Structure 1
Protein backbone atom coordinates (compact mmCIF):
# COMPACT_ATOMS: atom_id res chain seq x y z
CA UNK A 1 0.00 0.00 0.00
CA UNK A 2 1.36 3.41 -1.00
CA UNK A 3 1.76 5.85 1.89
CA UNK A 4 0.49 9.35 1.16
CA UNK A 5 2.66 12.21 2.34
CA UNK A 6 0.82 13.69 5.35
CA UNK A 7 -0.08 17.37 5.39
CA UNK A 8 -1.00 19.82 8.15
CA UNK A 9 -2.44 23.20 7.22
CA UNK A 10 -1.63 24.45 10.72
CA UNK A 11 2.06 23.73 10.10
CA UNK A 12 1.93 25.70 6.86
CA UNK A 13 0.26 28.60 8.64
CA UNK A 14 2.63 28.84 11.59
CA UNK A 15 6.00 27.67 10.25
CA UNK A 16 7.20 31.12 9.17
CA UNK A 17 6.28 33.01 12.39
CA UNK A 18 7.95 30.25 14.40
CA UNK A 19 11.03 30.35 12.18
CA UNK A 20 11.53 34.05 12.81
CA UNK A 21 11.89 33.37 16.55
CA UNK A 22 13.96 30.22 16.15
CA UNK A 23 16.46 32.25 14.11
CA UNK A 24 17.20 34.34 17.19
CA UNK A 25 17.04 31.55 19.77
CA UNK A 26 18.98 28.82 17.95
CA UNK A 27 21.59 31.12 16.41
CA UNK A 28 24.65 28.91 17.04
CA UNK A 29 25.50 25.52 15.50
CA UNK A 30 23.82 22.79 17.52
CA UNK A 31 21.56 19.76 17.25
CA UNK A 32 17.90 20.53 17.87
CA UNK A 33 15.74 17.64 19.01
CA UNK A 34 12.14 17.98 17.91
CA UNK A 35 9.62 16.15 20.09
CA UNK A 36 6.47 15.17 18.21
CA UNK A 37 7.49 16.04 14.67
CA UNK A 38 4.07 15.03 13.33
CA UNK A 39 3.97 15.28 9.56
CA UNK A 40 7.59 16.43 9.28
CA UNK A 41 6.72 19.78 7.66
CA UNK A 42 8.25 21.84 10.47
CA UNK A 43 11.43 19.79 10.44
CA UNK A 44 11.90 20.34 6.71
CA UNK A 45 11.16 24.08 6.86
CA UNK A 46 13.38 24.80 9.83
CA UNK A 47 16.28 22.62 8.68
CA UNK A 48 16.11 24.22 5.24
CA UNK A 49 16.16 27.77 6.60
CA UNK A 50 18.59 27.21 9.46
CA UNK A 51 21.49 25.39 7.78
CA UNK A 52 23.79 25.92 10.77
CA UNK A 53 21.59 23.55 12.78
CA UNK A 54 21.35 19.79 12.74
CA UNK A 55 17.66 18.94 13.07
CA UNK A 56 16.61 15.65 14.71
CA UNK A 57 12.93 14.83 14.22
CA UNK A 58 11.26 12.32 16.55
CA UNK A 59 7.78 10.93 17.00
CA UNK A 60 5.86 7.79 17.81
CA UNK A 61 6.56 4.89 15.42
CA UNK A 62 3.29 5.24 13.50
CA UNK A 63 4.21 8.77 12.38
CA UNK A 64 7.74 8.03 11.18
CA UNK A 65 6.83 6.87 7.62
CA UNK A 66 5.19 10.22 6.86
CA UNK A 67 8.19 12.15 8.20
CA UNK A 68 10.47 10.03 6.02
CA UNK A 69 8.43 11.04 2.96
CA UNK A 70 8.87 14.75 3.71
CA UNK A 71 12.57 14.29 4.46
CA UNK A 72 13.13 12.33 1.25
CA UNK A 73 11.47 15.12 -0.74
CA UNK A 74 13.76 17.89 0.51
CA UNK A 75 17.09 16.01 0.66
CA UNK A 76 18.72 18.18 3.34
CA UNK A 77 22.07 17.08 4.78
CA UNK A 78 21.31 18.70 8.14
CA UNK A 79 17.94 16.95 8.53
CA UNK A 80 18.53 13.59 10.21
CA UNK A 81 16.33 10.51 9.79
CA UNK A 82 13.43 10.56 12.28
CA UNK A 83 13.78 8.50 15.44
CA UNK A 84 11.11 6.73 17.46
CA UNK A 85 10.42 8.56 20.73
CA UNK A 86 7.47 8.43 23.07
CA UNK A 87 7.69 10.62 26.16
CA UNK A 88 6.74 7.61 28.25
CA UNK A 89 9.80 5.67 27.06
CA UNK A 90 12.23 4.98 29.88
CA UNK A 91 15.15 5.36 27.49
CA UNK A 92 15.24 8.06 24.83
CA UNK A 93 17.47 7.66 21.74
CA UNK A 94 19.91 10.34 22.86
CA UNK A 95 22.63 10.97 25.42
CA UNK A 96 22.24 14.73 25.83
CA UNK A 97 19.94 17.49 24.59
CA UNK A 98 21.31 21.00 24.12
CA UNK A 99 18.29 22.34 22.22
CA UNK A 100 14.70 21.15 21.99
CA UNK A 101 11.67 22.23 19.97
CA UNK A 102 8.12 20.97 20.24
CA UNK A 103 4.96 22.34 18.65
CA UNK A 104 1.30 21.57 19.28
CA UNK A 105 2.07 18.59 21.47
CA UNK A 106 1.26 19.50 25.07
CA UNK A 107 -2.47 19.95 24.44
CA UNK A 108 -2.59 16.55 22.72
CA UNK A 109 -0.95 14.86 25.73
CA UNK A 110 -2.65 14.05 28.99
CA UNK A 111 -1.51 15.93 32.07
CA UNK A 112 0.28 12.77 33.19
CA UNK A 113 2.16 12.56 29.87
CA UNK A 114 3.20 16.21 30.10
CA UNK A 115 4.53 15.48 33.57
CA UNK A 116 6.47 12.53 32.16
CA UNK A 117 7.91 14.71 29.41
CA UNK A 118 9.51 17.05 31.92
CA UNK A 119 10.57 14.17 34.17
CA UNK A 120 12.39 12.53 31.25
CA UNK A 121 13.90 15.85 30.14
CA UNK A 122 15.55 16.13 33.54
CA UNK A 123 17.68 13.13 32.56
CA UNK A 124 18.81 14.49 29.19
CA UNK A 125 19.02 18.30 29.23
CA UNK A 126 22.54 19.70 29.27
CA UNK A 127 23.65 22.41 31.67
CA UNK A 128 23.05 25.05 29.01
CA UNK A 129 19.98 23.72 27.20
CA UNK A 130 17.37 25.84 25.45
CA UNK A 131 13.77 24.74 24.88
CA UNK A 132 11.11 26.23 22.59
CA UNK A 133 7.52 25.13 23.22
CA UNK A 134 4.80 26.25 20.81
CA UNK A 135 1.05 25.97 21.25
CA UNK A 136 -1.98 27.37 23.08
CA UNK A 137 -1.96 27.93 26.84
CA UNK A 138 -4.41 29.11 29.45
CA UNK A 139 -3.35 31.86 31.83
CA UNK A 140 -4.66 32.03 35.42
CA UNK A 141 -7.02 29.21 34.50
CA UNK A 142 -8.70 31.21 31.73
CA UNK A 143 -8.79 30.81 27.96
CA UNK A 144 -7.09 33.56 25.99
CA UNK A 145 -9.76 33.53 23.28
CA UNK A 146 -13.15 32.08 22.39
CA UNK A 147 -11.51 30.06 19.63
CA UNK A 148 -9.18 28.43 22.17
CA UNK A 149 -12.19 27.57 24.34
CA UNK A 150 -13.87 25.90 21.36
CA UNK A 151 -10.64 24.12 20.46
CA UNK A 152 -10.29 22.80 24.02
CA UNK A 153 -13.84 21.45 23.93
CA UNK A 154 -13.09 19.71 20.64
CA UNK A 155 -9.92 18.21 22.10
CA UNK A 156 -11.73 16.85 25.15
CA UNK A 157 -14.55 15.41 23.04
CA UNK A 158 -11.96 13.56 21.01
CA UNK A 159 -9.91 12.46 24.04
CA UNK A 160 -11.00 13.48 27.53
CA UNK A 161 -7.39 13.25 28.77
CA UNK A 162 -6.18 15.95 26.39
CA UNK A 163 -6.77 19.69 26.50
CA UNK A 164 -5.06 23.07 26.65
CA UNK A 165 -2.68 23.22 29.59
CA UNK A 166 -2.27 26.04 32.09
CA UNK A 167 0.83 28.18 31.62
CA UNK A 168 1.40 28.16 35.38
CA UNK A 169 1.37 24.35 35.48
CA UNK A 170 3.97 24.15 32.73
CA UNK A 171 6.14 26.72 34.49
CA UNK A 172 5.95 24.68 37.69
CA UNK A 173 7.07 21.53 35.89
CA UNK A 174 9.85 23.48 34.19
CA UNK A 175 11.09 25.06 37.41
CA UNK A 176 11.19 21.66 39.10
CA UNK A 177 13.88 20.51 36.65
CA UNK A 178 15.87 23.75 36.67
CA UNK A 179 14.34 25.57 33.71
CA UNK A 180 13.64 29.30 33.71
CA UNK A 181 11.42 31.25 31.33
CA UNK A 182 13.36 33.55 29.01
CA UNK A 183 10.52 34.71 26.78
CA UNK A 184 6.79 34.22 26.19
CA UNK A 185 6.03 35.25 22.62
CA UNK A 186 2.51 35.96 21.36
CA UNK A 187 1.96 34.08 18.09
CA UNK A 188 -0.77 34.00 15.43
CA UNK A 189 -4.05 32.16 16.07
CA UNK A 190 -3.86 32.71 19.85
CA UNK A 191 -0.78 30.53 20.30
CA UNK A 192 2.39 31.21 22.29
CA UNK A 193 6.03 30.30 21.93
CA UNK A 194 7.77 29.77 25.26
CA UNK A 195 11.57 29.93 25.42
CA UNK A 196 13.12 28.26 28.45
CA UNK A 197 16.71 27.65 29.50
CA UNK A 198 18.42 25.54 32.09
CA UNK A 199 19.87 27.54 34.97
CA UNK A 200 23.56 28.22 34.62
Structure 2
Protein backbone atom coordinates (compact mmCIF):
# COMPACT_ATOMS: atom_id res chain seq x y z
CA UNK A 1 0.00 0.00 0.00
CA UNK A 2 1.38 3.39 -1.06
CA UNK A 3 1.40 5.69 2.00
CA UNK A 4 2.56 8.79 0.12
CA UNK A 5 0.36 11.87 0.59
CA UNK A 6 0.04 14.51 -2.14
CA UNK A 7 -0.49 18.21 -1.33
CA UNK A 8 -1.17 20.31 -4.46
CA UNK A 9 0.17 23.51 -2.83
CA UNK A 10 3.52 21.81 -2.21
CA UNK A 11 3.97 20.99 -5.87
CA UNK A 12 3.22 24.63 -6.72
CA UNK A 13 5.62 26.29 -4.28
CA UNK A 14 8.47 23.86 -3.61
CA UNK A 15 10.71 25.06 -6.47
CA UNK A 16 10.27 28.74 -5.50
CA UNK A 17 11.15 27.84 -1.89
CA UNK A 18 14.17 25.79 -3.00
CA UNK A 19 15.55 28.81 -4.88
CA UNK A 20 15.48 30.85 -1.65
CA UNK A 21 17.07 27.99 0.32
CA UNK A 22 19.89 27.75 -2.23
CA UNK A 23 20.83 31.37 -1.45
CA UNK A 24 21.88 30.57 2.14
CA UNK A 25 22.06 26.79 2.70
CA UNK A 26 25.47 25.33 3.57
CA UNK A 27 27.01 22.93 1.04
CA UNK A 28 27.19 20.30 3.81
CA UNK A 29 25.54 20.09 7.21
CA UNK A 30 22.32 19.16 8.98
CA UNK A 31 18.76 20.40 8.62
CA UNK A 32 15.75 19.76 10.85
CA UNK A 33 12.34 20.32 9.30
CA UNK A 34 9.45 21.03 11.67
CA UNK A 35 5.95 19.98 10.56
CA UNK A 36 7.14 18.18 7.42
CA UNK A 37 3.59 17.24 6.43
CA UNK A 38 3.51 14.94 3.40
CA UNK A 39 7.30 15.06 3.05
CA UNK A 40 7.08 16.43 -0.50
CA UNK A 41 8.93 19.65 0.37
CA UNK A 42 11.74 17.98 2.28
CA UNK A 43 12.37 15.23 -0.26
CA UNK A 44 12.47 17.81 -3.08
CA UNK A 45 15.06 19.82 -1.13
CA UNK A 46 17.03 16.67 -0.27
CA UNK A 47 17.25 15.74 -3.97
CA UNK A 48 18.74 19.15 -4.77
CA UNK A 49 20.84 19.85 -1.64
CA UNK A 50 22.63 16.52 -1.61
CA UNK A 51 25.42 17.46 0.83
CA UNK A 52 22.91 18.19 3.60
CA UNK A 53 21.42 15.52 5.89
CA UNK A 54 17.72 16.18 6.54
CA UNK A 55 15.77 15.25 9.68
CA UNK A 56 12.00 15.37 9.01
CA UNK A 57 9.45 15.61 11.82
CA UNK A 58 5.71 15.89 12.30
CA UNK A 59 2.96 15.33 14.85
CA UNK A 60 0.68 13.17 12.72
CA UNK A 61 1.23 9.43 12.18
CA UNK A 62 -0.05 9.51 8.56
CA UNK A 63 2.43 12.31 7.77
CA UNK A 64 5.32 10.37 9.32
CA UNK A 65 4.36 7.38 7.16
CA UNK A 66 4.13 9.58 4.06
CA UNK A 67 7.55 11.18 4.66
CA UNK A 68 9.18 7.76 4.93
CA UNK A 69 7.32 6.50 1.86
CA UNK A 70 8.49 9.50 -0.22
CA UNK A 71 12.11 9.08 0.95
CA UNK A 72 11.99 5.35 0.12
CA UNK A 73 10.31 5.95 -3.24
CA UNK A 74 13.03 8.43 -4.25
CA UNK A 75 15.85 6.36 -2.74
CA UNK A 76 17.22 9.26 -0.70
CA UNK A 77 20.20 8.44 1.49
CA UNK A 78 20.40 11.95 3.02
CA UNK A 79 16.97 11.80 4.73
CA UNK A 80 16.84 10.35 8.24
CA UNK A 81 13.78 8.44 9.51
CA UNK A 82 11.04 10.95 10.44
CA UNK A 83 10.46 11.72 14.11
CA UNK A 84 7.31 12.69 15.97
CA UNK A 85 7.91 16.18 17.31
CA UNK A 86 5.69 18.67 19.13
CA UNK A 87 7.30 22.12 19.30
CA UNK A 88 5.58 22.81 22.63
CA UNK A 89 7.36 19.90 24.37
CA UNK A 90 10.30 20.87 26.58
CA UNK A 91 12.92 18.37 25.43
CA UNK A 92 13.37 17.67 21.74
CA UNK A 93 16.31 15.29 22.36
CA UNK A 94 18.00 16.63 19.23
CA UNK A 95 21.59 17.33 18.19
CA UNK A 96 22.67 20.83 17.08
CA UNK A 97 21.52 21.81 13.57
CA UNK A 98 22.83 24.08 10.81
CA UNK A 99 19.35 24.89 9.49
CA UNK A 100 15.80 24.58 10.80
CA UNK A 101 12.92 24.75 8.29
CA UNK A 102 9.30 25.43 9.18
CA UNK A 103 6.87 25.75 6.27
CA UNK A 104 3.19 26.63 6.70
CA UNK A 105 2.95 25.82 10.41
CA UNK A 106 2.84 29.09 12.32
CA UNK A 107 -0.65 30.11 11.14
CA UNK A 108 -2.22 26.65 11.64
CA UNK A 109 -1.06 26.04 15.20
CA UNK A 110 -1.46 27.75 18.58
CA UNK A 111 0.95 30.61 19.35
CA UNK A 112 2.61 28.31 21.93
CA UNK A 113 3.93 26.23 19.01
CA UNK A 114 5.76 29.30 17.65
CA UNK A 115 7.09 30.15 21.13
CA UNK A 116 8.52 26.62 21.39
CA UNK A 117 9.94 26.76 17.86
CA UNK A 118 11.78 30.04 18.52
CA UNK A 119 13.12 28.97 21.91
CA UNK A 120 14.45 25.70 20.51
CA UNK A 121 15.87 27.37 17.38
CA UNK A 122 17.84 29.65 19.69
CA UNK A 123 19.19 26.60 21.56
CA UNK A 124 19.63 24.09 18.74
CA UNK A 125 21.08 26.12 15.89
CA UNK A 126 24.84 26.21 15.55
CA UNK A 127 26.46 29.65 15.65
CA UNK A 128 25.63 31.29 12.32
CA UNK A 129 22.88 28.71 11.63
CA UNK A 130 19.60 29.59 9.95
CA UNK A 131 15.88 29.36 10.69
CA UNK A 132 13.66 29.48 7.60
CA UNK A 133 9.92 30.23 7.80
CA UNK A 134 7.40 30.20 4.97
CA UNK A 135 3.77 31.26 4.96
CA UNK A 136 1.38 34.24 5.00
CA UNK A 137 1.96 37.14 7.40
CA UNK A 138 0.35 40.41 8.33
CA UNK A 139 2.71 43.36 8.00
CA UNK A 140 2.52 46.56 10.05
CA UNK A 141 -0.85 45.48 11.47
CA UNK A 142 -2.54 44.79 8.12
CA UNK A 143 -3.07 41.87 5.76
CA UNK A 144 -1.04 41.94 2.55
CA UNK A 145 -3.94 40.71 0.37
CA UNK A 146 -7.75 40.28 0.62
CA UNK A 147 -7.30 36.52 0.12
CA UNK A 148 -5.10 36.39 3.25
CA UNK A 149 -7.77 38.24 5.22
CA UNK A 150 -10.37 35.65 4.16
CA UNK A 151 -7.94 32.84 4.97
CA UNK A 152 -7.31 34.32 8.42
CA UNK A 153 -11.05 34.39 9.14
CA UNK A 154 -11.38 30.78 7.94
CA UNK A 155 -8.53 29.65 10.22
CA UNK A 156 -9.94 31.43 13.28
CA UNK A 157 -13.36 29.89 12.66
CA UNK A 158 -11.69 26.47 12.55
CA UNK A 159 -9.73 27.14 15.76
CA UNK A 160 -9.60 30.53 17.55
CA UNK A 161 -5.94 29.84 18.41
CA UNK A 162 -4.97 29.77 14.72
CA UNK A 163 -4.52 32.73 12.38
CA UNK A 164 -2.17 34.71 10.15
CA UNK A 165 0.49 36.18 12.46
CA UNK A 166 2.03 39.64 12.53
CA UNK A 167 5.51 39.40 11.07
CA UNK A 168 6.78 42.03 13.49
CA UNK A 169 5.63 39.94 16.46
CA UNK A 170 7.34 36.84 15.06
CA UNK A 171 10.54 38.84 14.46
CA UNK A 172 10.47 40.22 18.02
CA UNK A 173 10.15 36.68 19.39
CA UNK A 174 13.04 35.55 17.19
CA UNK A 175 15.20 38.42 18.46
CA UNK A 176 14.48 37.43 22.07
CA UNK A 177 16.02 34.06 21.21
CA UNK A 178 19.14 35.39 19.52
CA UNK A 179 17.88 35.25 15.93
CA UNK A 180 18.18 38.15 13.48
CA UNK A 181 16.21 38.43 10.23
CA UNK A 182 18.56 38.37 7.25
CA UNK A 183 16.10 37.98 4.36
CA UNK A 184 12.46 38.67 3.60
CA UNK A 185 11.35 37.46 0.18
CA UNK A 186 7.89 37.94 -1.30
CA UNK A 187 6.67 34.62 -2.65
CA UNK A 188 3.80 33.47 -4.91
CA UNK A 189 0.23 33.44 -3.54
CA UNK A 190 0.89 36.27 -1.03
CA UNK A 191 3.32 34.28 1.10
CA UNK A 192 6.74 35.21 2.46
CA UNK A 193 10.06 33.50 2.95
CA UNK A 194 11.61 34.74 6.19
CA UNK A 195 15.22 33.85 6.99
CA UNK A 196 16.74 34.34 10.46
CA UNK A 197 20.35 33.75 11.47
CA UNK A 198 21.59 32.81 14.92
CA UNK A 199 23.88 35.58 16.19
Alignment TM-score, normalising by the size of structure 1: 0.94
User: Is the partner of 1:100 in helix, strand or coil?
Assistant: strand
Aligned residue in 2 for 1:116: 116
1:28 CA drift (Å): 2.0
How many aligned residue pairs are there? 198
Query: Does 2:84 match 1:84?
Result: yes
1:90 CA drift (Å): 1.5
* Contact kept? 1:106, 1:114, Cα under 8 Å: yes
* 1:122-158 deviation digits (Å, cap 9, x = unpaired): 3322222111111111001100001111111111111
Structure 2 matches for 1:150-161, cutoff 5 A?
150-161=150-161
1:160 CA drift (Å): 1.3
User: Is the partner of 1:90 in helix, strand or coil?
Assistant: coil
User: Is the partner of 2:107 in helix, strand or coil?
Assistant: coil
Query: Does 2:11 match 1:12?
Result: yes
1:119 CA drift (Å): 2.0
CA distance in 1, matches of 2:130, 2:121: 12
In structure 2, list runs of 5 or more residues that go unmatched: none
1:4 CA drift (Å): 3.9
Alignment TM-score, normalising by the size of structure 2: 0.95
* 1:10-63 deviation digits (Å, cap 9, x = unpaired): 111100000111111104211111111000000110000111211111111422
**RMSD value over aligned CA atoms?**
1.3
CA distance in 1, matches of 2:121, 2:131: 10
CA distance in 2, matches of 1:125, 1:10: 28
Structure 2 matches for 1:126-141, cutoff 5 A?
126-141=126-141
Aligned residue in 2 for 1:54: 53
User: Is the partner of 1:172 in helix, strand or coil?
Assistant: helix
Segments of 4+ in structure 1 off by > 4 A?
none
Which stretch shows the higher mean deviation, 165-174 or 26-35? 26-35
In structure 1, list runs of 5 or more residues that go unmatched: none
1:102 CA drift (Å): 1.1
* Contact kept? 1:152, 1:163, Cα under 8 Å: yes
